[in-house]
Amino acid sequence: MYYPVGHPSWIMGGQSWFRSSFQILHYWRAPKGVINPTTTLPYPDNYTKLFIQKSKPFGVGKLSDTTATKGMDGLYFDPEKYVMYEKIDGKNYYRNEYYNKVLSKVKTTSGKQNPTVQFEKIELPEDAPFG
């Protein structure tokens, strides 16, 4: 049986929670073999999408999902290692490997009283869900 991505009001107490909460994240496990409407390919085994269904206060995030980030294709579960991993540009990244790679480009300098952090310019897509 196939269940589409749910809305927070579908669960018990969801309407109240949706009205008063700050952030609502929804993990959706895609059924293997069902056609993905955006790629027209079947969903692979152990595929999960993370949806941001509410972000409050205004301006701290966007309503989006994991496939909105350029090059990212959702989350996958590795049953052998028993962990989730990301596929970004066709490569598997476990436990923040990708983000540690991006953060390694950060230069830090510190003064005696006011330590400062100077970031290199990192190009992010305009439609990034966290921008």
Does 105 reside within a domain? no
Residue 88 resides in a domain: yes
Within a domain: residue 50? Answer: yes
Pairing of strands 83-88, 47-55: unpaired
Asked, for residue 126, whether it belongs to a domain, the answer is no
115 domain-assigned:
no
Can you give the chain as a three-state secondary structure string? CCCCCCCHHHCCCHHHHHHHCCEEEEEEECCCCCECCCCCCECCCCEEEEEEEEECCCCCCCCEEHHHCCCEEEEEEECCCCEEEEEECCEEEECCHHHHHHHCCCEEECCCCCCEEECCCCCCCCCCCCC
**Is pTM beyond 0.95 here?**
no
Domain count, the chain: 1
37 occurs within a structural domain: yes
Range of the domain at 91: 8-95
Return the residue matching tokens 């972000």.
Answer: 55
pLDDT along the chain (131 residues), means of 10: 76 76 80 82 85 76 69 80 84 81 63 54 66 49
pLDDT of residue 67: 67
Tens digits of residue pLDDT in 65-88: 766 666 667 788 888 888 888 887
